[in-house]
Chains A and B, each alone.
Chain A
């Protein structure tokens, strides 16, 4: 089963770019990589999903190298409201749709 590893925490400042890397060495051929954001006492919220190379939407970019053993979530020009926990998630359809959240990365954005 694919397992993800992320840094426990990261600090940044308003206006900076934040890059969070997730390792998933055992990712399966058909698995997608998805990132979620979670604020305290709320359910996680979808940010972005990708399979390979680069995906960009209005809030983030996702970079996935050719071997797909890692991925990097990039948050451009963060604000204080981006302070949250960010989870990297690898879909495991082969294992009966058992979706595994890692420990997440706590991002603190400072003024």
Chain B
């Protein structure tokens, strides 16, 4: 148990639709990051939020957007879904420790939301 919960666990959408995935961070964590994991591949960084502001972004188009709320929970929104968006979407929370000279805080991952786009 990591204390990070994601919803929904599974969902099916059709091409062109929009989807919102949700994540509740572990208590006390101020940073959340989202990853896309295609079958058989490693997680790919989408973006990270620190205290409600985007703090880093990977190579994903603008139709991937996010929010972090005052309670540090988060949403990932994907517009105009494409078939290649089918993947496991992982949320990870952490306690930012940037003051410790570049050390990346331990990431606590949720179980993921598996999205299938038809």
Contact = CB atoms under 8 A, between A and B. Distances in A.
Contacts of B114: 41
B65 interface: no
Contacts of A85: 42
Do most interface residues of chain A lie in helix, strand or loop, or is the interface mixed? loop
Contacts of B42: 85, 87, 101-104
B103 A91 contact: yes
Interface stretch (B12-20, B74-82, B104-112): B104-112
Interface of B: 2, 4, 33, 35, 41-45, 48, 50, 55-58, 88, 90, 92, 98, 101-104, 106-112, 114
Interface residues of A, number: 31
Contacts of B58: 98
Interface of A: 28-32, 34, 36, 41-46, 49, 51, 85, 87, 89, 91, 93-104
A49 B106 contact: yes
A45 B4 CA distance: 12
